[in-house]
DNA sequence: ACGGAATCGAGAAGACTTTCTCGATAAGGA
DNA sequence: TCCTTATCGAGAAAGTCTTCTCGATTCCGT
């Protein structure tokens, strides 16, 4: 009765992270087991989708009960690589970079930023959130020597490609890019763009569509002359 | 020969934002027109996908030439709502919130943060990046009065739901949530989660898989006893 | 011990996205 | 002017992701 291994989509990986958060809250509440149905209810998803995502981790559940909570959390963490902490380097110690540096929770998510690189002479040599700042030209040898494979880019967009090149030269295999720039890297490097432009795009598009729909609906209710009197009190202006 | 309106996926919206960045660089370079093929080459995408995405904006191109660059940029901005600037409120003036406040480019993307709300008495009344900080309980009336429909949440996760509730009460219709929490909001509110947990999930998963594959490949090359001598110089340790 | 209810696991069906294909069209050179 | 080439636009095909469905399993109350 072994579970068959499944491919998981990017969306599925993100959902697993969401389940992880929900599960930890449930753990605090003392629940011993959890069902896919239960998770789905909290996150407003389809139970079968939650089950499929969880299947990807390889854990087996029991009918009628679900999954043992603590074990499921552990399997998700193992599956996502969060129990195998990876050291990381950060480039760009500006306002965003500093915020990332000060963010304690990354450790729990398998990432530990161990060094910072910035080309501002005023910042080099100083310490930010306990991490020393170096010149970017030291990055490749440092990363190679420390066997670091994860890099975070928080430089201006104009410096992002050069920074990525340095990181790749330093043996970095995964890039977390916060600059609004498209990076060209070799095939063996994974890139995740955390581009706020892209995110805002869908938000502003949907907001605009929604507001337009509301204006239209309001117009339909209030505009027709023949029903104006009847519907007047439905309009608040 | 009118273009037929198409539905666009979330991924498509993000790609449009990426095209927009590429196009602006081309504009600086002085190019007068651009083809879907050209954009696709830069971003390593399929030309037909770029064409489909651009079709969604409703602009018409010319065979053999493509699209007029400046016009295309304008159409994408209009389509995404970036030319119709929306005022926004921010909750949580911590390290992330301050970084967002200081980020000038949001204005170009249709968003203008006009007020900040934080429950830390030390921050209330002060000014951060030119924006005054208020107590959160002032949020609903302020948002209603100013007809603000966009809200940014940068509070701790524990305060995110309460903050979202305040925003919804204030007439906010779109939430940009940076806290790692699942928000429950009415159907008419759009939520975009900018959850770094979720993002890290796919990055750590892929990095781990890649490194595992590399270790396996290395082992295959170096482990077999019969070929050890021949392949010794292929191994660097 | 038995029957009902809840859940899992997995395959099938359906919905959505991406890629392919091809006719039409416009530019540029022979 | 005519031919070649690049590109668009749209429908078809292929692929991927999500939702549905159902038999099997387990728990719980009677
Ligand atoms: N601040 C935000 O809220 C925010 C939001 C979205 C995106 N971003 C993006 O994140 C990036 C950083 O933003 P920020 O607000 O922190 O900017 P910032 O100007 O505060 O910081 C940029 C830092 O990068 C350093 N730097 C410049 N060139 C460098 C190089 N070649 N190598 C290493 N370091 C270099 C600078 O010295 C500076 O310290 C930008 O690309 C920005 O577009 C920021
Ligand atoms: N710093 C980062 O790099 C980073 C990265 C990813 C996610 N986040 C998330 O972003 C959020 C903010 O992170 P941060 O690093 O800025 O934290 P922070 O502690 O620096 O700032 C939080 C701010 O929110 C304020 N606050 C608390 N309760 C509030 C309430 N009910 N209403 C309004 N304001 C309230 C606090 O006074 C504080 O100023 C957190 O949810 C965090 O998980 C931060």
Determine whether the distance from the CB of A4 to the nearest atom of strand C is below 7 Å: yes
Instruction: Name the residue in chain B with its Cα closest to that of A98.
Output: B95
Q: What is the pLDDT of residue B222?
A: 65
pLDDT mean by block of 10 residues, chain B; 237 residues: 70 98 97 98 98 97 97 98 97 97 95 98 97 98 98 98 98 98 96 95 96 84 48 36
How far apart CA B133 and CA B145 sit, in angstroms, is 17
How far apart CA A219 and CA A155 sit, in angstroms, is 47
Residue B226 C-alpha, separation from nearest chain A C-alpha, in angstroms? 29
Q: Are strands B131-134 and A67-68 parallel, antiparallel or unpaired?
A: unpaired
Is 50 exceeded by the pLDDT of residue A147?
yes
B129 DSSP 8-state letter? T
Q: What is the pLDDT of residue B20?
A: 98
Q: What is the pLDDT of residue A98?
A: 97
Q: What is the pLDDT of residue B221?
A: 72
Structure tokens at B227: 């070929």
All residues of chain A having their beta carbon less than 8 Å from the beta carbon of residue B86 are 204, 207
Terminal C-alpha separation, chain B:
65
At residue A212's C-alpha, the angle toward residues A206 and A213, to 5°, is: 90
Chains A–B, number of C-beta pairs less than 8 Å apart: 173
Phi, psi of A175 (to 5 degrees): -120, 130
The residues near A154 (Cβ < 8 Å, ≥ 6 apart) are A90, A91, A92, A93, A94, A96, A97, A100, A178, A179
Give, in Å, how far the C1' of C18 lies from the CA of A117.
39
Give the Å distance between the CA of B155 and the centre of ligand 1: 22
Nearest residue (CA) to ligand 1, atom 21: A94
Whether residue A21 and residue B180 make contact (CB cut-off 8 A), yes or no, is yes
Q: Pick from A72, A20, A71: which is nearest to A43 by CA?
A: A20
Is 60 exceeded by the pLDDT of residue A86?
yes
Q: Give the pLDDT mean for A10-18.
A: 98
Is 70 exceeded by the pLDDT of residue A139?
yes
Helix (H) or strand (E) holding A113: strand A111-117
Residue B13 C-alpha, separation from nearest chain A C-alpha, in angstroms? 6
The Cβ of residue A40 has, within 10 Å, a number of other Cβ atoms equal to: 17
Helix axis angle, B10-29 to B36-43, nearest 10°: 100
| Nucleotides on strand C lying under 7 Å from protein C-beta | 5-11, 16-21, 24-27
Q: Give the pLDDT mean for A148-162.
A: 98
Q: Residue A51, SS3?
A: helix
Q: What is the pLDDT of residue A218?
A: 83
What is the torsion angle, in degrees rounded to the nearest 10, for the CA atoms of residue A104, residue A110, residue A115 and residue A119? -90
Give, in Å, how far the C1' of C2 lies from the CA of A103.
57
Q: Give the pLDDT mean for A117-137.
A: 97
Q: Pick from B120, B185, B95, B211: which is nearest to A105 by CA?
A: B95
Name the residue among B14, B180, B205 with its Cβ closest to that of A80: B205
Instruction: Tell which one of A137, A155, A160, A177 to mutate to probe ligand 1, the residue whose CB is within 8 A of the most ligand atoms.
Output: A155
Helix (H) or strand (E) holding A161: helix A157-169
Task: Identify the band that residue A4 occupies on the pLDDT scale cut at 50, 70 and 90.
Answer: low
Contacts 24+ apart (CB under 8 A), B114-119: B114/B87, B114/B88, B114/B89, B114/B146, B114/B148, B115/B89, B115/B90, B115/B142, B115/B146, B116/B89, B116/B90, B116/B91, B117/B89, B117/B90, B117/B91, B117/B92, B117/B93, B118/B91, B118/B92, B118/B93, B118/B94, B119/B159
Is 50 exceeded by the pLDDT of residue A50?
yes
Whether residue A182 and residue B42 make contact (CB cut-off 8 A), yes or no, is yes
Give, in Å, how far the C1' of D9 lies from the CA of B19.
19
Determine whether the distance from the CB of B3 to the nearest atom of strand D is below 7 Å: yes
Chain B residues 29 to 68 with C-beta below 7 Å from nucleic strand D: 35-38, 47-48, 51-52, 54-55, 60-67
Residue A202 C-alpha, separation from nearest chain B C-alpha, in angstroms? 6
- CA torsion sign for A218, A224, A227, A232 is positive
Q: What is the pLDDT of residue B215?
A: 86
B142 DSSP 8-state letter? H
- CA torsion sign for A50, B7, B9, B169 is negative
Q: What is the pLDDT of residue A223?
A: 56
Residue A13 C-alpha, separation from nearest chain B C-alpha, in angstroms? 6
Phi, psi of A107 (to 5 degrees): -55, -40
Model pTM above 0.85: yes
Nearest residue (CA) to ligand 1, atom 1: B99
State pLDDT tens for residues A196-215. Answer: 999 999 999 999 999 998 88
Instruction: Tell which one of A118, A126, A137 to mutate to probe ligand 1, the residue whose CB is within 8 A of the most ligand atoms.
Output: A118
Q: What is the pLDDT of residue B4?
A: 56
Give the Å distance between the CA of B69 and the centre of ligand 2: 40
Is 50 exceeded by the pLDDT of residue A138?
yes
Contact present, A123 and A93 (Cβ < 8 Å): yes
Instruction: Name the residue in chain A with its Cα closest to that of B79.
Output: A205
Say which nucleotide is closest to residue A1, CA to C1' distance: C9
Whether residue B207 and residue A81 make contact (CB cut-off 8 A), yes or no, is yes
Tell me if B136 CB under 6 Å of ligand 2. Answer: yes
Q: Give the pLDDT mean for A116-122.
A: 98
Q: What is the pLDDT of residue A87?
A: 98
Q: Residue B49, SS3?
A: helix
């Amino acid at each position: 009765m072994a579970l068959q291994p499944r491919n998981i989509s990017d969306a599925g990986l993100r959902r697993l992270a969401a389940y992880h958060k929900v599960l930890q809250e449930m753990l605090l509440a003392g629940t011993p087991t959890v069902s896919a149905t239960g998770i789905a209810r909290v996150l407003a998803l389809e139970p079968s989708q939650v089950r499929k995502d969880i299947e990807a981790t390889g854990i087996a559940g029991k009918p009628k009960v679900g999954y043992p909570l603590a074990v499921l959390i552990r399997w998700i963490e193992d599956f996502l690589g969060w129990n195998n902490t990876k050291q990381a380097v950060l480039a760009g110690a500006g306002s965003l970079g500093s915020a990332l540096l000060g963010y304690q929770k990354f450790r729990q998510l398998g990432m530990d930023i161990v060094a910072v690189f910035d080309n501002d002479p005023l910042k080099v040599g100083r310490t930010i959130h306990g991490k020393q700042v170096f010149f970017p030209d030291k990055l490749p040898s440092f990363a190679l020597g420390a066997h670091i494979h994860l890099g975070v880019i928080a430089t201006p967009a104009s410096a992002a490609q050069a920074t990525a090149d340095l990181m790749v030269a330093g043996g970095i295999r995964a890039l977390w890019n916060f600059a609004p720039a498209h990076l060209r890297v070799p095939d063996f490097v994974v890139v995740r763009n955390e581009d706020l432009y892209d995110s805002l795009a869908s938000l502003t598009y949907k907001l605009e569509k929604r507001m337009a729909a509301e204006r239209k609906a309001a117009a339909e209710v209030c505009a027709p002359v023949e029903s104006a009197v009847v519907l007047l009190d439905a309009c608040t202006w």
